[in-house]
Structure 1
Amino acid sequence: MQVQPRACVYMLAWLFPLLSMWGIETGGAATFALPVFAFVLVPVADLFAGRSPRLPNRDGVALADWIMYAYVPLALLALATGVSGASRWTMLEWVGNTLSLGVTAGVGIVVAHELGHRRSTVLRLLSRLMLWTAAYGHYRVEHNRGHHVWVATPYDPATARRNQPYYAFWWQAVSGTLRGAWAQEAARLMKRQLPGWHWRNEVWQNLAATLLLAVFAWLLGRWAGLGLYAAQAVIGFSLLEAVDYIEHYGLMRHRHADGRFERMTAAHSWSANHTVSNWLLFELQRHADHHVRPLLPFSALGDQAESPMLPASYPTMILLALCPPLWYRVMHPRLDRHYEHLATERGVQAV
């Protein structure tokens, strides 16, 4: 494997589990190191580093992938460290460490998302393992077979409608993802002449794996460990749904008179090309290119000209999403300009 130094920037993502473990071991105010890093220092770093628009490339893909794989054991170690020590924490440490591990789990879902699109059975198993730690194993089923088909339509629970606050979207996405995963698995099993409730249904398998991890958490940390495992999981998948919220907010595909939806394009996903946060999130913010070419490795993703750009990186946009009036004030003018641009382009094409 030829080493590409540029790919080493993705090692910055290891700071999530490492800062979590440092906070757990140090205690006190240090337990808030990761939340401050993720939602204060990273946005500031993005302001200084600026944007990094680039064409798709394949430099350092192999090394970048191995750096991403290493996130899995680091995240598992951070969670085990927290669960085993949770019973000794003060209330302040509980809040800080739970937030830190929740953020680590959220980034773990980013890794799981990437691995879930790979063809390797081993990598897909690692994807499921990461999702189990966040009690969200069914996400991979609905995301791959549902979201990528129905994105930017009313049939996709992970597409936020205009004027829909994050808090209403959260329930739509969490409940809809579970229902969608069950429907996908039931349809798959029916083709094999098996009932939907068969043990081969991945929803059952994911539930069983999550419960097994919960048992391990109880064995390591008793009720405090189990409570921590549950709390960080909720924070982790809530961050995922916050990301889903900002990635497709208000973007809907046109429906033709015959009921068919227009073809999905890069115009139906918001993107961000902020340098530092893209390194930390394994290029997740180049979301439009991912939808156009979902099997492409993350480090080979680039910008898509049709995609509307977010005004700030994901950490800042997540904070904005938690305040709906501010979110609407920032996003609605951009959404209107995007649709005006699309209408102009379609008009020119029609002529």
Structure 2
Amino acid sequence: MTTRPISVLYMLSWLLPLLALFGMLAGGIASFSLPLFAFVLLPLGDWLVGRAPRLPHHVESSGSQYILEAFVPLCVGVLVIGVLSARHWTALEWVGNTLALGIQAGVGLAASHELGHSPGWLQRKLSRLLVWTSCYGHYHVEHLHGHHVWLGTPHDPCTARRGQTFYRFWRQAVTGSFRCAWQHESQRLMKLRLPDWHWRNEVLLGVTISVGLLAAAYYFAGLAGAMTFIVQAVVGFSLLEAVQYIEHYGLMRAQRADGGFERATAAHSWSSNFRLSNYLMFELQRHADHHVRPGAPFATLGDQAESPMLPGSYPMMILLALVPVAWFRVMHPRLDRHYHNVSTQRGVLSA
């Protein structure tokens, strides 16, 4: 194991809501400050700063968890400011600021993902707050009880199949994850002898709170505020699904003769070890190690040798995924090489 850089580097994540806030205050073309940073300057910065060494595990840096937790009220505060001020924006400012809030929501869902794996009561509540403001309250139910169990199989709506475009995957993931989460809650409540439509149904609770937040946005900020809340949420969970698309694209677990599936390993998740974007996204790009050690704090994640590496960081790969022809051209040769390496390794082990 090796030590991590000082935790202050994770404070780079705070740039995202602060840039969104700057865009609202400055107005005009500055409203696009965060989208420009996230999808132009950040990929360029990743290319300049480069990758981190491939190391398996790290010692958690001091204070990293507090930086993650502080990210939540910062995002929520900027969202409230945005919704309340939306009626005063021009059309150009509305587009730029709403996109910025959506990007913030997408990274907020990455933070929520990390907090949702935490055993602490406060961390779990902060995690729920982020999914509620993104109208994706079912996410943690499906992620913990569906995706982590069924990744790389046809039963997982959040695993993209080879040749599947992001747009087809988006429909599959958004509808499928909600359906899977509802089925899980229905079965859980049945064991408690409670009906599906009970207040303890976490999916129903999430929908109710998100609708309540939308109603509050309309009451305090009118139609402009309500539309801002809705669109930022859609952009946010669409970015989450874009990340899930690239994290497991084409990596399917082999089915055994008895109908079961081989054990999920690091070989079933793509990873990326670009330094800059890893600090900004709480090491979300070290995704294979997360699946191997789902309870490990984000600052301890490293690179698993079995995991295939993406050619770029998440912001770059998201843009690539929006152009299916380019995505297939880049990813399919890498997917073929990965499966060749896996089959070769298995041949050596069996011999």
- TM-score norm. by structure 2 comes to 0.97
Report the equivalent of 1:11.
11
State the aligned residue count.
347
Report the equivalent of 1:58.
59
Cα-to-partner distance string for 1:222-275 (whole Å, 9 max, x where unaligned): 111000000000000000000000000000000001001000000000000000
Contact 2:60–2:297 under 8 Å retained in 1? no
Q: Using the alignment, how far apart are the partners of 1:5 and 1:203 within structure 2? A: 38
Report the equivalent of 2:337.
337
Q: Using the alignment, how far apart are the partners of 2:182 and 2:252 within structure 1? A: 24
What is the identity, as a one-letter code, of the residue corresponding to 2:60? Answer: D
Q: Using the alignment, how far apart are the partners of 2:318 and 2:78 within structure 1? A: 24
Report the equivalent of 1:274.
274
Report the equivalent of 1:77.
77
The CA deviation at 1:208 is 1.1
The CA deviation at 1:211 is 1.2
Cα-to-partner distance string for 1:278-318 (whole Å, 9 max, x where unaligned): 00000000000000000000000001000000000000000
Q: Using the alignment, how far apart are the partners of 1:31 and 1:93 within structure 2? A: 6
Pairing 1:114–2:117 present: no
Report the equivalent of 1:182.
182
Pairing 1:99–2:99 present: yes
Cα-to-partner distance string for 1:138-180 (whole Å, 9 max, x where unaligned): 0000000100000000000000000000000000000001001
Aligned-pair identity in percent equals: 58
Structure 2, unaligned stretches of length 5 or more? none
The structure 1 segments of at least 4 consecutive aligned residues displaced by more than 4 Å after TM superposition are none
The CA deviation at 1:216 is 2.0
Q: Using the alignment, how far apart are the partners of 1:272 and 1:185 within structure 2? A: 33
Q: Using the alignment, how far apart are the partners of 1:337 and 1:305 within structure 2? A: 15
What is the identity, as a one-letter code, of the residue corresponding to 2:81? Answer: T
What is the identity, as a one-letter code, of the residue corresponding to 1:48? Answer: L
The CA deviation at 1:350 is 1.3
The CA deviation at 1:6 is 1.2
Q: Using the alignment, how far apart are the partners of 2:29 and 2:286 within structure 1? A: 34
Cα-to-partner distance string for 1:69-112 (whole Å, 9 max, x where unaligned): 11111101110111011111111101100110000000000011
Report the equivalent of 1:171.
171
SS of the equivalent of 2:291 reads helix
SS of the equivalent of 1:307 reads coil
Matches within 5 A, 1:81-230: 81-230=81-230
Report the equivalent of 2:22.
22
Report the equivalent of 2:317.
317
Q: Using the alignment, how far apart are the partners of 2:205 and 2:247 within structure 1? A: 29
The CA deviation at 1:5 is 6.4
**Of 188-197 and 260-269, the range deviating more from structure 2:** 188-197
The CA deviation at 1:55 is 3.2
Distance 1:293 1:5, change over 3 A: closer
Q: Using the alignment, how far apart are the partners of 1:210 and 1:241 within structure 2? A: 19
Report the equivalent of 1:294.
294
What is the identity, as a one-letter code, of the residue corresponding to 1:115? Answer: L
Q: Using the alignment, how far apart are the partners of 1:55 and 1:170 within structure 2? A: 32
- TM-score norm. by structure 1 comes to 0.97
What is the identity, as a one-letter code, of the residue corresponding to 2:276? Answer: V
* Alpha-carbon RMSD: 1.0
Q: Using the alignment, how far apart are the partners of 1:39 and 1:223 within structure 2? A: 29
